Structure 1
Amino acid sequence: MAQERKGKHASECDGPPALRTRRQTSMQVHETSAVVPSSTHSRSRSDSPTPPSEEPSLLSEEHLNIPTQERKELLAELADALETDKVGAAFWACLQVCDLDQLRELIHQAKAAPKFVSLLARECHALPRLWKQLVTRSNSSTATSPKEKSVNSRASGPTSQARERDNSRCVFTKSSIFEVAHIYPHCLIRPATPPNERTEAIQSFWKALEFFWKPEQIQQWRQEIFRSPNSPNDASDACFNLICMQPNIHMAWTKGLFALRPFDYNEDKSKLDVEWYWQPKQSHGPYDLVDLRKSPPSSRDLDEVDDYNIVLEPTPNNFARLKSGHRFTLETPDAQRLPLPSKALLELQWHLNRIVSMAAAGEGEDSDYDDYEDERHAYTEKWVNQLQQPVISSEPDSSASNTPPTYYSPLPSYLPV
């Protein structure tokens, strides 16, 4: 039984009656659950039972948002190169999850051209906002039950395939009230023609990722979503990019309240394990400057965040909350016709959802975002291209030690330094 309740005890329930759902076989978990409000922002519980499939000893601390000593030292070196400890929240968030080799490259660029890296830091503000899927609100998925059909234009094709694959149920709670949610955001999928402002936003999104992950990793992600040989810049809106989940879980996902960590497919790609990690609330806001040397709060043992939790019922007399590290097994009856959610896209989501959380991008309303984007889209492509120009010299001339490094192109005049 899934219960909506407030606080820690069921006796405090002041919400609607609990929704009883049937157990399904689309995943190898047999708990029913529901996202319910609580009275704290983020909390861990040592008394919650550890799911049998969870193996805490095998979890790296980086996956729990605990930076390694090497990352800490590199971030301190970057702060020295930039001659500032304070950077935008989104840039700070990207640095917490990015590839370490790319972080070393950013340090090299910062030593050679600190103002260019400072510009990148400012423009990272748009990255988590694009990912959280709120750019085009009219594209949100439609809540569905087995007795009703969506009038949404995407109800046929990939959407119906995702419903069939997931047995018309939320893959986490088995609820019959669900949405077909995108992994790679629908707002970043565009028709082939005509090119528009969204086209620039999509291109800038992928170029921004190149500063934080290796080219081969970016290429793997791109190949998974841009599959058309005739239209290599058009993303594929297909079953592998969709997953069914309850509307309130979908909203929590887009707000970065949790992230899904994927594992490997089984041999015939009929099963895929994912682990759920709550992402703790940050002490800073989305527009705040954050100390580069600050470490994010850990997701270890969290069982709720920002007034949400999921109550599991493993036995009639033993309620337990869904805890960071809980593993779900996604399944499909036909891996060819009804492919599972893409592991590669879930990996991209694993990084970007944590960035959304760490950047505090999921907080508040986004009513100002469209205006922000109108202002930014026109020149985002320009500064990214300039930022990628090679540096003539990474070291100042020994005969003129006070001379700043030289670049191929000046800082763009349309942005403040």
Structure 2
Amino acid sequence: MASIEAEFTEERAMLIQRLMKSTNVHLVDKANHAFIWLCDVEVLRGMVRHAESGTPSASQVALSLRAGPHVVKQLKSWLARRTSKSDTDEAADVEPATPATPSTPTPATGESPQPSPTTPSKRKASKSESPSPTKIPRVTNPGLQRSKTAEDIAKARDNGRCVVTQMGEPVQICHIYPHSMGEKTGGERDEFWMLLQAFWPVNKIEQWKNDIFGPKGTEMPQNLLCLSNIVHDLWGKARLAFEPVEMAADGTSLTIRFWWLPGTKLHGRVALCVPPSLPASLKASPLNAKLWNCETDAPIYSGETIILTTTDPVAMPLPSFELLHMQWMLTRVAALCGAADVTDEDLEDEDLGDEDLEDEDFQSGGEMASPIPEALPPQA
């Protein structure tokens, strides 16, 4: 049976108990809590070994469990969302796709075809025309312009329809690894990858990097999906996630699983030893957003299987299995800590709350550390 919490094994629970005992850290913020319960188990074994070693690296492990709100800021960047309530162009890195010629869609699940007040124009504007005011704002910096070739390939591959709902309009060509993340400076980008390196082994990090840091960066069909506006918006808010299941050996089909995710609020600390709640039977988002298959009118529930196909895996490659796996891990972490819904003000409040913590919950002392224990060697 499919599980949204396959990582929550008995071994992991025992390792976390040992980690809690050796560091004397009993309560952690929700972001670190989610990372610990979803991270690579070999990395977790390494944390426990260092925590139990009695060496200076033991204190570094304890400090890393108290990393603070900047972890949530990195997750917000991953979701490609703004950090201010006044910013409303949350999907500015995505432009609407024009409908493709109707074709037989691949088996999938979908959404009720309700009209949207922000439905994009059905035709592409010429270069001399101004964009329609109903369109999502485009990036105007020439250095950030999207690759039309990659978008066209992804749209043709997905038959111009949302791969989840089979809705034909309005649809967007959406990034798995956010376009905005690909434009970050070296230092900002390194901080994000250093965070991931604290919870996944070097070989996994390299697999993820290899699939995104090529000559075309984020602008390649392997990093793009056709999604309806509502599915894309819910995905960007960590209300749903896609679990990669299997890629065919010949690259002509990719099986993914759809999951609704629970909601939570950032504030507050949770017991490290108690696993987060990831219900496997959700039928809607936390605020009751629901989706339907536009071909069958069947509702879409957690655990639904979706099969993406391509007639030419070379010219029209399917989405990257590795990038979808990265998305699967980080979107669940973001949902479990409420990263999508926090503002800068919320994070500042969280910073102030950290200053008031009692030493009984953290006996190692010292200033708040980076989530990366510098004294710990990276996991191979």
Q: Please tell me the TM-score bracket, short chain as reference.
A: 0.7 to 0.9
Q: Which of 79, 90, 98 lines up with 1:132 in the alignment?
A: 79
TM-score (norm 2): 0.72
CA–CA distance in structure 1, aligned partners of residues 317 and 344 of structure 2: 33
Identify if the C-alpha distance between structure 1 residues 141 and 368 changes in structure 2 by more than 3 Å, giving closer, same or farther: farther
Confirm or deny that 1:293 pairs with 2:273.
Answer: yes
Please give the residue correspondences for 1:291-330 in structure 2 after superposition, counting only pairs within 5 Å: 291-306=271-286, 307-312=288-293, 320-330=298-308
Q: 1:288 is matched by which residue type in structure 2?
A: G
CA–CA distance in structure 2, aligned partners of residues 76 and 298 of structure 1: 20
Count of residue pairs the alignment pairs up: 308
Q: SS at 1:302's partner residue?
A: coil
CA–CA distance in structure 1, aligned partners of residues 322 and 198 of structure 2: 19
Partner of 1:258: 240
1:65 and 1:297 in contact (8 A); partners too: no
Partner of 1:346: 324
CA–CA distance in structure 2, aligned partners of residues 75 and 201 of structure 1: 30
1:262 and 1:275 in contact (8 A); partners too: yes
CA–CA distance in structure 1, aligned partners of residues 270 and 372 of structure 2: 26
Please give the residue correspondences for 1:10-409 in structure 2 after superposition, counting only pairs within 5 Å: 56=1, 59=2, 61=3, 63-64=4-5, 67-111=8-52, 112=55, 113-121=57-65, 122=67, 123-135=70-82, 137=90, 139-146=92-99, 147-149=122-124, 152=138, 153-154=145-146, 156-175=148-167, 176-190=169-183, 198-228=185-215, 235-282=217-264, 285-306=265-286, 307-312=288-293, 320-365=298-343, 387-389=373-375
TM-score (norm 1): 0.66
Identify if the C-alpha distance between structure 1 residues 337 and 369 changes in structure 2 by more than 3 Å, giving closer, same or farther: farther
Query: Which structure has the higher relative contact order (CA within 8 Å, separation 6+)?
Result: 2
CA–CA distance in structure 1, aligned partners of residues 158 and 347 of structure 2: 33
What runs of 5+ residues in structure 1 fail to find an aligned partner? 1-55, 191-196, 229-233, 373-382, 392-417
2:71 and 2:371 in contact (8 A); partners too: no
Q: Deviations over 1:47-92 (max 9, x none)?
A: xxxxxxxxx2xx3x5x336721211111121111221211111111
CA–CA distance in structure 2, aligned partners of residues 226 and 328 of structure 1: 27
Deviation at 1:199? 2.2
2:257 and 2:303 in contact (8 A); partners too: yes
Q: 2:181 is matched by which residue type in structure 1?
A: L
Q: Deviations over 1:349-399 (max 9, x none)?
A: 1111111111111224568789x9xxxxxxxxxx769832359xxxxxxxx
1:159 and 1:242 in contact (8 A); partners too: yes
Q: SS at 2:332's partner residue?
A: helix
Q: Deviations over 1:10-50 (max 9, x none)?
A: xxxxxxxxxxxxxxxxxxxxxxxxxxxxxxxxxxxxxxxxx
CA–CA distance in structure 2, aligned partners of residues 134 and 281 of structure 1: 16
What runs of 5+ residues in structure 2 fail to find an aligned partner? 83-88, 100-121, 126-130, 132-137, 139-144, 351-368
